[in-house]
Amino acid sequence: MYPLLLKTFIQERLSLRRLFGQKIARSKIQSVLMVLLLVYAFGVTAFSNSILQYEIAQGLKVIGDLSPMLFQVVNSLSALGFLFGFFQAQGYLFQYKDFDLLGPLPIPQRTIVAAKISIMLVFVYLFALIMVVPTYGIWWYESGAPLIQLFIFLPMALVAPIPLMLLGAFVSFLLRKLTQKWLHANVLQTVFSVLFILSFASFNFLSNEIIPVSWIGFIQGFDVVGHWFVLAISDLDVLRFVMFFGLHLIVLFTFVLVMSGPLLKINQQRTNLLYKRNEKIPNHQQSVMSHLLKKEWQRFVGTSIYFINTGFGILMLILLTAVSLFIPSAISEVRQLMVAMGIEPIWLIFGIVGFSLSTVYTPAVSLSLEGKNINLLKSLPIEGWTIIKAKIFFNLLLTIPVVLFASVIGSSLFQLDFLIAILFIIMLVLFTILLSIFFMYINLWFPRFDFHQEVEVVKQSLAPLVAVFGGFSLLGALLWLNFEPLASLDLYARLITLSGIEFFFIGIALWFLKTNAQRYFQSFSV
């Protein structure tokens, strides 16, 4: 029964159509292009990671110890497991969406739980291919590429994410349990999730200050099981291999045996949140746009995975700007360094802001996140253009204030001339608008309404991937224009020209969007 369930889950969760959205079958050329794009994006990420790991390996070879790379492998697998457990457990274990379908079938609950955990692991493995495998690959290559070490690595890598994935699942369940009866429970869950991840990231970042060894070195100090992993591979230690593999399997089997019953009960007793909202009855008619924007905001703060993935960039930008206020001397040093290199400091600000903005891709997924509600929207007398405008406005409401904050502070810290600062801010705001419109096009080209969980749209589909890489490309294109064809102009002329180019493309893109909005909108179906 387990293989049958796993096969069905894989067919359901990992089909190309689910990944690419509803347009996959419409055109063969488009499908091939999308596959190529995906392979390219994954390839670039894996290749860049490999280059980075190769450089690290060269450094470690000098001190004659490559084992930190193996620690990194096992810790990254665990971290990926934790993140996937944290974000996916709710839909896969505690309130699985197909419970009404599987519940009446004579399938042992343990089999269902085992298959659900397996499909969660499949997603971890897919990400591990680009995040972790390059590290091991470089280590393996630098160690002389013995086959036996590969055979020892593979089974251990497959089980390594399990304990922290289950821990992540429990943490996420606990958060939900603690907040489910509160008003705005979804918002609280999002806030807790962000705080949790920020604390983890801060500890990671500050560990070098707190502990006089590196983060990996810190883990090495107490991670006995991690040592088993490293020694099993580097020393071909069969006993430690058996201990590592066996311990992880015991954790898995114990979880399945012990938790299947409680998980069944949790699924059987699930209910919708029961709190009542005591909102004031509005005393005046509101515009359609204000309703649409309010809806966008509620979805943004009420969906943890959406908020964390598309809001993290602005949060980091705010933090970075705020922190920079307290380190003016360091900023001054960076400024002097850049001037010495012959690069105007504004391009550093532009790069940082542009990079952060490329991750705030709300318009690239918010239409898809309407899900089956898209039919409801289509049935109402609202123009497609109004809905599209609302999604772009919402993104701009999130980004423009932060862009202004960052660019004003940045201009002041980097001591830009007043006129340059004004021109730079105008160019940055136009870039923000252009990026937002570009993101909107991505969602119109790659819509995906038939999802089960928001994570499938926000992380596991083509739109966010194309949006982030497209954003980087747009940023790269403007920087290239500045440093290559426009290099002979002075800074004023370059900023005015770049703003002009952005303005031109904004005009064209908006005109085309407005003209075709209704056609796009009518073509959507669930």
Partner 1 sequence: MLIIEHASKSYDKKKKALDDVSLTIQPGDLFGFVGHNGAGKTTLLKAISGIHQLDQGTIKFDGLDINQNTLAFKSKIAYVPDHPDLYEQLTGRQYIDFIADVFKIGIQERNQLIENYGKSFDILPPLKQLISTYSHGMKQKTALIAALIHKPKLLLLDEPFVGLDPKASFVLKEIFKSMTESGMSIFFSSHVLEVVEKLTNKLAIIKQGKIIHQGLTKEVLGKQNLESLFMELS
Segment interacting with partner 1 (CB under 8 A) among 13-21, 30-38, 79-87, 280-288:
13-21
- Between 108 and 485, name the residue whose CB sits nearer to partner 1: 108
How many angstroms separate the CA atoms of 7 and 11, rounded? Answer: 6
Contact set for partner 1, span 24-83 (CB under 8 A): none
Q: Which residues are CB-contacts of 213 (< 8 A; sequence separation ≥ 6)?
A: 221
Site string for partner 1, 434-453 (x = CB under 8 A): ----------------x---
Q: How far is the CB of 268 from partner 1 (least distance, A)?
A: 4
Residue in 28, 147, 271, 276 binding partner 1, rule: CB under 8 A: 271
Q: How far is the CB of 292 from partner 1 (least distance, A)?
A: 27
- Between 403 and 462, name the residue whose CB sits nearer to partner 1: 462
265 lies in the site for partner 1, by CB under 8 A: yes
What 3-state DSSP class applies to 65? coil
- Between 13 and 116, name the residue whose CB sits nearer to partner 1: 13
Please report the DSSP string for 311-327 in residue order: HHHHHHHHHHHHHHHT-
17 lies in the site for partner 1, by CB under 8 A: yes
- Between 383 and 450, name the residue whose CB sits nearer to partner 1: 450
- Between 12 and 65, name the residue whose CB sits nearer to partner 1: 12
CA gyration radius, the chain: 25
How many angstroms separate the CA atoms of 166 and 178, rounded? Answer: 18
Site string for partner 1, 102-131 (x = CB under 8 A): -xxxxxx-----------------------
Segment interacting with partner 1 (CB under 8 A) among 220-228, 264-272, 276-284, 387-395:
264-272
Q: Which two tokens stand for residue 189?
A: 């869950």
What 3-state DSSP class applies to 226? helix
| # of chain residues touching partner 1 (CB under 8 A) | 27
Q: How far is the CB of 227 from partner 1 (least distance, A)?
A: 42
Please report the DSSP string for 367-420 in residue order: TGGGTTHHHHHHHSS--HHHHHHHHHHHHHHHHHHHHHHHHHHHHHHTT--HHH
Q: How far is the CB of 34 from partner 1 (least distance, A)?
A: 17
Question: How distant, in Å, are the alpha carbons of 74, 316, 412 from that of 82?
Answer: 12, 22, 41
- Between 108 and 246, name the residue whose CB sits nearer to partner 1: 108
Residue in 59, 63, 100, 148 binding partner 1, rule: CB under 8 A: 100
User: Residues 490, 451: contact at Cβ < 8 Å?
Assistant: no
H/E stretch holding 145: none
Segment interacting with partner 1 (CB under 8 A) among 39-47, 262-270, 344-352, 376-384:
262-270
- Between 24 and 406, name the residue whose CB sits nearer to partner 1: 24
1 lies in the site for partner 1, by CB under 8 A: yes
Please state at what angle helix 133-142 crosses helix 109-131, rounded to 10 degrees. Answer: 60
User: Residues 221, 71: contact at Cβ < 8 Å?
Assistant: no
Tokens 């340059």 correspond to 420
Q: Is 273 left (phi over 0), alpha (psi -120 to 50) or beta?
A: beta
Contact set for partner 1, span 273-292 (CB under 8 A): 274
197 lies in the site for partner 1, by CB under 8 A: no
Segment interacting with partner 1 (CB under 8 A) among 4-12, 297-305, 454-462, 514-522:
4-12
Residue in 101, 148, 340, 380 binding partner 1, rule: CB under 8 A: 101
Q: Which two tokens stand for residue 506?
A: 């904004």
Tokens 């004003």 correspond to 408
User: Residues 335, 345: contact at Cβ < 8 Å?
Assistant: yes
Q: Which residues bind partner 1 (CB under 8 A)?
A: 1, 4, 8, 11-13, 15, 17-18, 22, 97-101, 103-108, 265, 268-269, 271, 274, 450
